[in-house]
Structure 1
Amino acid sequence: MEEELPVLHNAYIEVEDKIEDGDSNGWRDSATRHYFSALDYSLFGAMLVLSAMIGIYFAFFAKKKQNTISEYLMGGRNMSLAPVAMSLTASYVSGITLLGVPSEVYTYGTQFSALCFATVIAGLFSAIFFIPVFYELHLNTSYEYLGIRFDRKVQVLGSFLFVVTYLLYIPVVIYVPALAINQVSGVNIHLITPIVCLVCIFYTTLGGMKAVVWADALQILLMFGSLFAIIGVGTNTVGGFNTVWQRNADTNRTELFNMDLDPTIRHTFWGVVIGLSFNLTYHFSVNQGMVQRCLVMPNLKQARILIAIALAGVSILTAISTYTGLQMFAAYYDCDQLSTKVVSESDQLLPHYVMEIAKSLPGLPGLFMAGVFSAALSSMSTGLNSMSGVIYEDFISPFMSPRTSEERASFIMKIICAILGIICVGMVFIVENLEGVIQTAWSLEGIACGPKLGIFILGMFYPWASSTVQHIGSLGSKCRWSIFGGDGGI
């Protein structure tokens, strides 16, 4: 029996008719622009309100107020495993990831999902080699290790690179999903981004690490919920799982073990696993957001269990995102939304697809928007909390009086957090005027992350290395990047 795909097939015919009439742009504007209902806005607003209430609770009503360094920055070093594991998973997954992985799979097939192997490798390195060192030293920031191992100059260099990287990355994390949703739904980007950012600044500044962790736990549930809803409705719409798989298999898109050694191929097993292993080792092993969550655990065993759960969560989200990409391809297999200019950029594919299938499930666009911005909020809150701790511990605390009270120190960190958040809000509007936003962000992150990981590896695995050797190596890595035009981002 022939499968019925009325929406997609008619869309394909209409594109051809409009292009023949010389009205492709007019068709694209009218056909791809949908609007959110009151229910959609209510679901999205509920996510923001609940996140803000979490910050209020930990600031004013929790038994332990966020008025000491240990409480504000480290959650008292005695937090429950489940919410921290959910938080760690949420902070790893950004809105760019939720939009980018399905689009990548839609366009190039499933080979990119080999990043699950890279995730496991990076997690093992973190649990075996890096986290035990940080835990034994009872540090507040990962960069304090550099001061102990080398000298204060190296510590300041690492901290500076970290802050600059996050200040450049957070505006992109907020802007990209906002732009994608704006272009398929008409939601005003200049209204939604400041609101989202200000809510994030509010609960992160007031509630500290505990508010960040519990807000992340709420937000990861919304991420999973939105993706599962899309999978359920979309699979049913296209004709079932067998249809999804068959249409992708027929076009040779279901590969996972392409062992070709040709470096010019976009994705091979070796390229994805080796390249992402280095990138993810930095994020899982020395990035302050990751280390900080491990250090809030009461003991090293709990910290290692935390990493294992987070690896499972990230792998599951990767698998779900991969299947979502396959599902989109199955839906549009006879009408490519990019080549027909229905959408102009790949990061608009998933929002466009959600709006197309949302007719059968009211509220799905709002749930999806809440899920995407939950990922953005978790990344932003993690960055703000981590940066405030690093700036205070590495740049301000050394010049403070030893008699400075814990309450004053935590207040200073809250002020730093709020200022950083406001800077990020302003930079969103600067990012708007850049071309190749995502590529630029990954390139800048690659410049900083490569040398930072190299510094930590040098310190932990080469006991004879001195701070002089480290400075020369770090400078050399930057020069090499600029000379050869390299890009450490994946």
Structure 2
Amino acid sequence: MAGTGGPVDTFSVWDYVIFAGIILVAAGIGLFQAIRGRKETTSDEFLLGGRQMTAVPVAMSLTASFMSGITVIGTPAEAYSFGTAFWLFGFSYAIMSIVTAELFVPVFYRLGVTSAYEYLELRFSRPIRIIGTSMYIVQTALYTGLVIYAPALALNQITGLDLWGVLVATGAVCIIYCTLGGLKAVIWTDVLQMVVMLVGFLAVIARGAVLQGGLNQVWEDAREGGRLNTFDFDPDPRKRHSFWTIIIGGSIMWTSIYSINQSQVQRYISCKTLGHAKMSLYVNMIGLWVTVSLAMLSGLTMYSVYKKCDPLTNGDVNTSDQLLPYLVMDILAEYPGIPGLFVAAAYSGTLSTVSSSINALVAVTMEDFIVPLWKNITQRQVTWLNMGLSVFFGALCIGMAGVASSLGSVLQAALSIFGMISGPLLGLYLLGMFFHTPNSMGSLSGMIIGLVLTLWVGIGAQIYPPTADKTLPLPVTTVGCNSTLNQNHTTQEPWTSAVPMTTLPPVRPPLADFWYSLSYLYFAVLGVVVTIVSGFLISMATGGCKQEKRHPDLFVKKKDLFCFSGCNTSEASQTKEKKLSDVQGIDNKAFTELPPEIISREMATKL
């Protein structure tokens, strides 16, 4: 009987068929795009889809890029353990979408960049561009390793799928269609994978609701279990999820992901017009709302099923990330093929994120490292390098999966990585786009200070996890379990032994319960604020007020805001018509005096 604990079924033949079929269809879409575009082998076509994409598929790809297997598995577990506070991220997604669409997209689109970090050279200097790119590569490799490893481990321990076999297969499929199909293949497979993810959630919710007597009963069980206390206005910055940490910290963290992360920037600058680019972000916002809502409802359904028998406390699973796969095998195994659909949903999320990361890593490596140094590279050499780098980064991401195994809760670990690294980077971009005073020395110094502080608090939190009651999950029970194995760790009485203890618990430093207990959502806020304040002050002290005037196209303009009807001309495409010979040999100072029509992506590589 579902919800009473104990072993669950493993995969049937039909589950394997459905799972393999969906993954093969995803790979087939990538191969189709490769064959369809076999005559269009330019770097722009491979990395940006020829800058001819439209809003809806790009929006679905934007959503799928970071709605990964971690979302499919981690977000329902979040709702099960901590309630619906995570639903407030819907507000964060709205704030992020508006800020990114109205402030960042016009600047990147106007400059015709391929790599988001080209902007750092145009605004500051080449060393800052290289540092920014390097930070992105490290962050993305870590995150992608986590994306590959965590769902594979959870599903392996529940369904019996071979762990490393699936890890290698995941990377291999991504490598194939990224290498052959480029960005178009990535975007169109993301569309399929987004649909599969949503269908997986719906299958869990529908079956759970039937078992529990309807969604009203699911909602009532969640209310009685304290899972619907969404609005917590506790201002304590150590509170893991509160209204303030999610609205303030979550908005800045997600803005850092969407506004300057190459995986996302590369998508919306592939749109054929600025209007399409902006619209893709607003459609993506709706996609994020739908995804997080279905994930939350899946978590509440899971709580309703296990309200009297918590699988984690009962020893049926080892971590909270295995809860949803356990539920699927518990309530859906009698329907052959449906568990396979859910596993495909989790892996579709993984594939979409990994393929996005590989494609973005190839783009920044080519644009920020290889092309500027290799002046006479041919188009054929560029094509082969793009393909070779796709294979290399695919293998690297698989290798990083081992590192990811020590990072704890997948959802929190993934977002922590972005907060620690993207926060200072976002502060650097805000300094450049909104203020004329910041110079290279001051801005770089500010970013380094911000990065040191975020790494300090983030790594400290990994070593000394918060123990305050503000981070504890909501109560669960095992009174309704049929199986009562492995429950010794839930005994209410203190454990005692006739043998005297000879080891003492590790001593927590004074900072552990304050500085290291800062909510992971405030990592990005800390990085942004410290970078802007220190960068601005150091710039003023090092001659920032006396530097040459920068070109206005490097800054946010009032006319960029909420422009759709007048944004149907691709400035990026127009500027690319300028011959490279016209911009060779110029330096950064000369660039500040050039007219707007000369600024282009090619120009950035010649500075």
Greater per-residue helix proportion:
1
Amino acid at match of 2:74: G
Q: Provide the residue aligned with 1:196 in structure 2.
A: 170
Q: Are 2:420 and 1:425 aligned?
A: no
Counterpart contact for 2:240–2:520, Cα < 8 Å: no
Q: Deviation per CA, 1:134-166, whole angstroms, max 9, x where unpaired?
A: 011011111001110001011111100001111
CA distance in 2, matches of 1:489, 1:289: 22
CA distance in 2, matches of 1:404, 1:346: 50
Q: Quick check: 123-132 or 245-254, which moved more? A: 245-254
Deviation at 1:464, TM superposition (A): 1.1
Counterpart contact for 1:449–1:488, Cα < 8 Å: no
Q: Given the superposition, is the C-alpha separation of residues 326 and 268 from structure 1 closer, same or farther in structure 2, using an over 3 Å criterion?
A: same
Q: Deviation per CA, 1:393-444, whole angstroms, max 9, x where unpaired?
A: 001111112x432232122111111111112222324444x36373655444
Match of 2:17 among 31, 39, 42: 42
What does 1:223-242 align with in structure 2 at a 5 Å threshold?
Answer: 223-242=197-216
TM-score by length of 1: 0.91
Deviation at 1:463, TM superposition (A): 1.4
Amino acid at match of 1:295: I
Q: Are 2:435 and 1:453 aligned?
A: no
Match of 1:465 among 420, 428, 438: 438
Q: Deviation per CA, 1:323-363, whole angstroms, max 9, x where unpaired?
A: 11111111111112222222121000000000011134221
Deviation at 1:273, TM superposition (A): 1.3
Q: Provide the residue aligned with 1:20 in structure 2.
A: none
What does 1:10-409 align with in structure 2 at a 5 Å threshold?
Answer: 11=5, 31-32=6-7, 34-60=9-35, 62-63=36-37, 65-401=39-375, 403-409=376-382
Bigger CA radius of gyration: 2
CA distance in 2, matches of 1:447, 1:63: 39
Q: Given the superposition, is the C-alpha separation of residues 428 and 100 from structure 1 closer, same or farther in structure 2, using an over 3 Å criterion?
A: same
CA distance in 2, matches of 1:86, 1:373: 16
Q: Given the superposition, is the C-alpha separation of residues 326 and 465 from structure 1 closer, same or farther in structure 2, using an over 3 Å criterion?
A: same
SS in 2 for 1:404: coil
Counterpart contact for 1:337–1:349, Cα < 8 Å: yes
Match of 2:449 among 463, 473, 476: 476
What does 1:432-451 align with in structure 2 at a 5 Å threshold?
Answer: 432=405, 434=406, 436=408, 438=410, 442-451=415-424
SS in 1 for 2:332: helix
CA distance in 2, matches of 1:86, 1:289: 13
Gaps of 5+ in 1: 1-5, 12-30
CA distance in 1, matches of 2:115, 2:455: 29
Q: Given the superposition, is the C-alpha separation of residues 310 and 440 from structure 1 closer, same or farther in structure 2, using an over 3 Å criterion?
A: closer
CA distance in 1, matches of 2:123, 2:112: 14
Q: Given the superposition, is the C-alpha separation of residues 264 and 468 from structure 1 closer, same or farther in structure 2, using an over 3 Å criterion?
A: closer
Deviation at 1:66, TM superposition (A): 4.8
Deviation at 1:488, TM superposition (A): 8.4
Q: Are 2:5 and 1:7 aligned?
A: no
CA distance in 1, matches of 2:434, 2:428: 10
Q: Deviation per CA, 1:123-143, whole angstroms, max 9, x where unpaired?
A: 110011111100110111110
SS in 1 for 2:437: coil
Deviation at 1:55, TM superposition (A): 2.3
Deviation at 1:301, TM superposition (A): 0.9
Q: Given the superposition, is the C-alpha separation of residues 117 and 450 from structure 1 closer, same or farther in structure 2, using an over 3 Å criterion?
A: same
CA distance in 2, matches of 1:466, 1:263: 32
CA distance in 1, matches of 2:94, 2:224: 30
Amino acid at match of 2:79: V
Counterpart contact for 1:58–1:65, Cα < 8 Å: no
Counterpart contact for 1:66–1:208, Cα < 8 Å: no
Q: Quick check: 51-60 or 113-122, which moved more? A: 51-60
Q: Quick check: 131-140 or 329-338, which moved more? A: 329-338
Counterpart contact for 2:238–2:519, Cα < 8 Å: no
CA distance in 2, matches of 1:85, 1:324: 23
Q: Deviation per CA, 1:269-297, whole angstroms, max 9, x where unpaired?
A: 11111111111001111111111111111
CA distance in 1, matches of 2:103, 2:251: 15
Q: Deviation per CA, 1:7-43, whole angstroms, max 9, x where unpaired?
A: 334x4xxxxxxxxxxxxxxxxxxx3353111111111
CA distance in 1, matches of 2:103, 2:50: 24
Q: Given the superposition, is the C-alpha separation of residues 385 and 303 from structure 1 closer, same or farther in structure 2, using an over 3 Å criterion?
A: same
Deviation at 1:448, TM superposition (A): 1.5
CA distance in 2, matches of 1:482, 1:91: 25
CA distance in 1, matches of 2:129, 2:7: 50
Counterpart contact for 1:450–1:488, Cα < 8 Å: no
Amino acid at match of 1:326: L
Q: Provide the residue aligned with 1:16 in structure 2.
A: none
Gaps of 5+ in 2: 461-515, 522-607
Amino acid at match of 1:42: V
Deviation at 1:84, TM superposition (A): 1.6
Q: Deviation per CA, 1:61-85, whole angstroms, max 9, x where unpaired?
A: x156451111000001011332222
Deviation at 1:309, TM superposition (A): 0.5
CA distance in 1, matches of 2:400, 2:239: 35
Q: Deviation per CA, 1:434-458, whole angstroms, max 9, x where unpaired?
A: 3637365544443311111111111
Amino acid at match of 1:427: M
Amino acid at match of 2:190: D
CA distance in 1, matches of 2:438, 2:404: 39
Alignment coverage as a number of residue pairs: 462
**More relative contact order in 1 or in 2 (CA 8 Å, sep 6+)?**
1
TM-score by length of 2: 0.73
Deviation at 1:251, TM superposition (A): 2.5
CA distance in 1, matches of 2:45, 2:389: 16
Amino acid at match of 2:56: A
Q: Deviation per CA, 1:53-107, whole angstroms, max 9, x where unpaired?
A: 22222222x1564511110000010113322221111112011111111111101
CA distance in 2, matches of 1:149, 1:358: 55
Alignment identity in percent? 36
Q: Provide the residue aligned with 1:24 in structure 2.
A: none
Q: Given the superposition, is the C-alpha separation of residues 69 and 96 from structure 1 closer, same or farther in structure 2, using an over 3 Å criterion?
A: same
Q: Given the superposition, is the C-alpha separation of residues 183 and 441 from structure 1 closer, same or farther in structure 2, using an over 3 Å criterion?
A: same
Amino acid at match of 2:392: I
